[in-house]
Amino acid sequence: MEYFDIHSHILPGVDDGSQSLEESMAMLDIAYQEGTRNVMLTPHYMRGRNQYNKEELKKRFVDFKQEVHRKYPDMQLYLGNEILYEDGIVDDLKAGLIQTMNDTKYVLVEFNIRISYNQLYQAIRKLTNARYRPIIAHVERYRCLFKHLERIDELVRMETYLQMNISSVYGGLLDEDARWCKKLVREGYISFFGTDAHDLENRAPYITDYVAWIEKKCGVDALEQMFVNNAKKMIENQYIID
């Protein structure tokens, strides 16, 4: 199976992720060895605080992709943004200032981890009303959603998609956060996995051990749906039916 990482900070020199071409290539070495063959590069978009504009970002992406394909011609790279939601984000999207996921209507959105559910709900509503398809980045982090399946259900009914960081399934029975993550995975709420890789040490793009747990508990078909098929539909701007 050729895995698809939809959330990474491997594009060098644009955010708090990789700081050099050498570091980025070393991160992709790990990803390749782990079986990843498709990577969405999603540098942070923080309104008024970015180190680049969209045109500069695309040029860096093209240059980086050329470097990668010299070493890994079968590694497919795509460009997006991880968008920190705040007032004005929908306006920036409409103005074309933000990179959507592979130029589709899908957008990867993160929030303050202490956001209230009402604030998160209203943000998602604004995005969907503007005809975007929001993917909530690392959904396991938001305390307003923790152990609230009724809220998760409501968001999913709004055609919101949930991305989980693959390493979040790691943890034993006494780890409440890991138990919550495993519940979301087992019950089919997660549409996408990503590594959220930032570096070579604490946040490297390892997946093998976590993939083994998902395959054991959910089966190979569910693993392929969450880690391959949904992502392929997303980059082609197709609707995902879970």
Whether residue 117 has pLDDT greater than 70:
yes
Q: What is the pLDDT of residues 162-192, one digit of tens each?
A: 999 999 998 877 789 999 999 999 999 999 9
Rounded average pLDDT over 10-39: 98
Rounded average pLDDT over 149-158: 97
Q: How confident is the model at residue 85 (pLDDT cuts 50, 70, 90)?
A: very high
Rounded average pLDDT over 14-34: 98
Q: Check residue 62 and give its pLDDT.
A: 98
Q: How confident is the model at residue 100 (pLDDT cuts 50, 70, 90)?
A: very high
Delineate the domains of the chain, giving CATH numbers in brackets. 3-235 (3.20.20.140)
Pairing between strand 82-84 and 44-45? parallel
Q: Check residue 242 and give its pLDDT.
A: 54
Q: How confident is the model at residue 32 (pLDDT cuts 50, 70, 90)?
A: very high
CA distances from 113 to 30, 55, 116, 153, 188 (A): 29, 30, 9, 19, 23
Which has the closest alpha carbon to 38: 173, 229, 190? 229
Query: How high is the mean pLDDT of the chain?
Result: 96
Q: What is the pLDDT of residues 204-215, one digit of tens each?
A: 999 999 999 999
CA distances from 23 to 12, 170, 203 (A): 8, 25, 12
Q: Check residue 236 and give its pLDDT.
A: 98
Q: What is the pLDDT of residues 121-142, one digit of tens each?
A: 999 999 999 999 999 999 999 9
Q: pTM score > 0.95 for this model?
A: yes
Q: Do the Cβ atoms of 27 and 70 come closer than 8 Å?
A: no
Q: Check residue 124 and give its pLDDT.
A: 98
Which runs of consecutive H residues, i.e. helices, occur in the chain?
21-33, 54-71, 89-94, 117-129, 149-157, 176-186, 208-218, 220-224, 230-235
> Residue 164 forms beta bridges with which residues?
193
Q: Check residue 174 and give its pLDDT.
A: 78
